[in-house]
């Protein structure tokens, strides 16, 4: 996905050197998806926060911006993982997002037809972990609203957290 998002602009999306994985800043993703204001994509991120958190921590930080006639105010800026960025791309309703969603869908089709293979054991293990999390989320979804209530209460608990999307121990 990184190469797809850099077709128009040779600059990399962004990588925070203090974090272990590459992240995409919301303002950069907003620009690449054709939004005129970063606030538009932030509304989309807030609306889908629970789904994004199921893919990992939703990283956010306070950033000072200049608004109007020199007034400064703090806004929340998000840094999304690649999976979270792909999810937001699928929810955005811009021509650029539609184009990227088609590419993601084509890659998914290639994967499901076994035309893509992991390059090493670590990649194979990661694919297995993704499949396990998807299965756990499907089990929670099958429980209906009660299942989601269990997951929400588990996420708020002070106990040691397991991967989001996995059922809490009973």
Q: Lowest-confidence range among 66-75, 90-99, 144-153? A: 144-153
> Per-residue confidence at 81, pLDDT binned at 50, 70, 90?
very high
Containing 73, the helix (H) or strand (E) segment is: strand 71-80
At 5-47, the pLDDT tens digits run 433 443 445 445 455 678 999 999 999 999 988 788 999 999 9
pLDDT of residue 87: 95
Model pLDDT, residue 152: 58
Q: What is the pLDDT of residue 151?
A: 58
C-alpha to C-alpha distance for 97 and 89, rounded to whole angstroms: 5
Which residue shows structure tokens 């850099």?
6
Q: How far apart are CA 35 and CA 62, in angstroms?
A: 21
Identify the three-state secondary structure at position 110: helix
Give the global pTM.
Answer: 0.65
Q: Which residue has the tokens 């990227």?
A: 100
Strands 24-25 and 71-80: antiparallel
Span 144-163, pLDDT tens digits: 766 656 655 555 544 444 44
Burial class (CB in 10 A: 0-12, 13-18, 19+), 147: middle
Which pLDDT does position 157 carry in this prediction?
47
Residue 62 confidence (pLDDT) above 60: yes
Instruction: Report pLDDT for 9.
Output: 41
The predicted-structure confidence for 45-61, as pLDDT tens digits, reads as follows: 999 999 999 888 899 88
All residues at 6 or more sequence positions from 33 whose CB lies less than 8 Å from its CB, including other chains: 41, 89, 92, 94, 96, 97, 100
In contact, 19 and 82? CB cutoff 8 Å: no
Q: Using DSSP, how many helices (H) and how many strands (E) does the chain show?
A: 8, 3
9: phi then psi, degrees, rounded to nearest 5: -135, 120
Is residue 91 within 8 Å of 48, Cβ to Cβ?
yes
- DSSP 8-class letter at 168: P
pLDDT at residue number 155: 52
The confidence score (pLDDT) of residue 29 equals 94
pLDDT of residue 79: 93
């Amino acid at each position: 996905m990184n190469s797809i998002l850099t077709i128009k602009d040779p600059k990399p999306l962004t990588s925070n050197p203090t974090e272990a994985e590459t992240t995409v800043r919301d303002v950069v993703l907003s620009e690449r998806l054709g939004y005129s204001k970063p606030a538009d994509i932030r509304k989309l991120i807030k609306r889908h926060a629970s789904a994004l958190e199921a893919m990992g921590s939703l990283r956010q930080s306070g950033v000072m911006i200049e608004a109007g006639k020199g007034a400064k105010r703090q806004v929340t800026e998000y840094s999304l993982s690649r999976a979270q960025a792909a999810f937001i791309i699928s929810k955005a309703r811009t021509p650029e997002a539609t184009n990227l969603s088609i590419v993601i869908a084509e890659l998914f089709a290639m994967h499901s037809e076994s035309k893509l293979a992991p390059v090493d054991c670590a990649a194979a293990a990661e694919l297995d972990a993704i499949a396990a999390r998807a299965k756990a989320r499907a089990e929670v979804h099958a429980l209906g609203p009660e299942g989601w209530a269990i997951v929400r209460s588990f996420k708020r608990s002070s106990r040691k957290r397991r991967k989001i999307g996995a059922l809490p121990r009973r």
